[in-house]
């Protein structure tokens, strides 16, 4: 199996006695050590206007990390395309991919938090149309070697050629989060890789992986389980009481984010907003527990066909990663990454 990281740094606002950069430095140290511990990748989020300093300039932060690392892949999970000028973003992504030696994975999405759309004064109803146009423009930016002109609904360009070129050809691989059957079918139809969110219950997660495999194979392509990243929260606990306290903190953190994401009319139907937020469901979905408890859940996912996992830190920090690297990674290192791995039991 392959294991990577997923998540955010924090750069808090405050007075002269607050070191706003500390959260970023801690994140950079965490990721550089993770590379040495054998982690394959790190995916960073993009969020705005939270009040608690989540990563906003994601490509900038990953470019800084690229200069401090040499092997770990650098991904976004996800860049919300409706908020960005697609040509400017294409240039920034190409720069990161070029300087990192082709280590960039481009996770994209439409966005789901109401407060962010409100902050940018972009109607959420435009998200899908903006996303589709931006995808088309960015792809064109990377594959066209001659100047081109474009007239669209949201963006227009005249006589442009995007520089620099990307290191990966024809462009960095696209990753896209999806939860509903229609969205999963669309990811397969585009030929993108799939990201499965960290809050989905275990059974739902396995069903989504199976659905994506079936969709890829139905289109005549060979399914590669390494092209599905399953995100999970990770907390290496000392004991049951420590585990349960961490789960309570995870629930409180999620409630804070859900309050930002929900529309005033309560009609946000994103799959990220649809999960039961009970203690039992949260505990079942996350990899919070002792080494043995975490390994048991990973084994279940591996038996169900999962080969690539991305972990968000639930609070055990670098010590948790060290324990995971020492106790768990070797136990799964003999996995052959068989793309035709067994389906989940019915």
Q: Report domain extents, the chain.
A: 2-332
Give the model's confidence band at 320: pLDDT under 50 very low, under 70 low, under 90 confident, else very high: very high
pLDDT averaged over the chain?
94
Give the model confidence (pLDDT) of 161-209 as tens digits.
999 999 999 999 999 999 999 999 999 999 999 999 999 999 999 999 9
The answer to whether the CB of 16 falls within 8 A of the CB of 49 is no
Kindly report the CATH number that applies to the domain delimited by 2-332: 3.20.20.30
The CA distances from residue 299 to 63, 187, 223, 229, 289, in Å, are 34, 26, 21, 16, 14
- CA distance linking residue 336 with residue 203, whole number of Å: 23
Strand partners, 211: none
pLDDT at 222 over 70: yes
More confident of the two residues 149 and 259: 149
For 17-57, the DSSP string reads T--TTHHHHHHHHHHHHHHHTT--EEEE----S-SS-B--S
Number of H helices, E strands in the chain: 12, 12
Q: How much is the pLDDT for 269? A: 80
């Amino acid at each position: 199996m392959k294991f990577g990281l997923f998540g955010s740094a924090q750069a808090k606002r405050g007075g002269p006695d607050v070191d706003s950069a500390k959260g970023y430095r801690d994140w950079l140290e965490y990721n550089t050590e993770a590379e040495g511990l054998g982690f394959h990748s790190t995916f960073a989020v993009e969020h705005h206007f939270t009040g608690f300093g989540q990563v906003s300039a994601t490509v900038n932060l990953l470019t800084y990390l690229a200069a401090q690392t040499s092997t770990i892949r650098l991904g976004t999970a996800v860049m919300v395309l409706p908020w960005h000028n697609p040509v400017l973003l294409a240039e920034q992504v190409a720069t990161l991919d070029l300087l990192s030696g082709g280590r960039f994975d481009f996770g994209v999405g439409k966005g789901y938090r109401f407060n962010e759309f409100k902050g940018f004064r972009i109607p959420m109803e435009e998200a899908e149309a903006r996303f589709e146009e931006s995808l088309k423009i960015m792809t064109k930016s990377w594959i066209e070697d001659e100047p081109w002109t474009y007239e669209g609904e949201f963006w227009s360009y005249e006589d442009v050629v995007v520089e620099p070129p990307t290191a990966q050809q024809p462009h960095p691989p696209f990753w896209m989060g999806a939860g509903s059957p229609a969205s999963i079918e669309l990811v397969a139809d585009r030929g993108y890789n799939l990201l499965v969110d960290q809050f989905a219950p275990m059974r739902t997660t396995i069903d989504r992986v199976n659905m994506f495999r079936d969709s890829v194979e139905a289109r005549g392509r060979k399914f590669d389980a390494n092209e599905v990243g399953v995100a999970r929260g990770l907390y290496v606990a000392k004991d049951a009481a420590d585990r349960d306290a961490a789960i309570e903190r995870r629930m409180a953190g999620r409630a804070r984010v859900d309050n930002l994401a929900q529309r005033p009319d309560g009609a946000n139907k994103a799959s990220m907003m649809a999960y039961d937020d009970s203690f039992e469901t949260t505990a079942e979905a996350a990899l919070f527990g002792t080494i043995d408890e975490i390994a048991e859940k990973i084994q279940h996912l591996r038996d169900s066909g999962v080969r690539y996992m991305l972990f968000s830190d639930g609070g055990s920090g670098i010590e948790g990663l060290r324990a995971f690297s020492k106790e768990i990674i070797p136990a799964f290192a003999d996995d052959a990454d068989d793309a035709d791995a067994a389906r989940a039991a019915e």
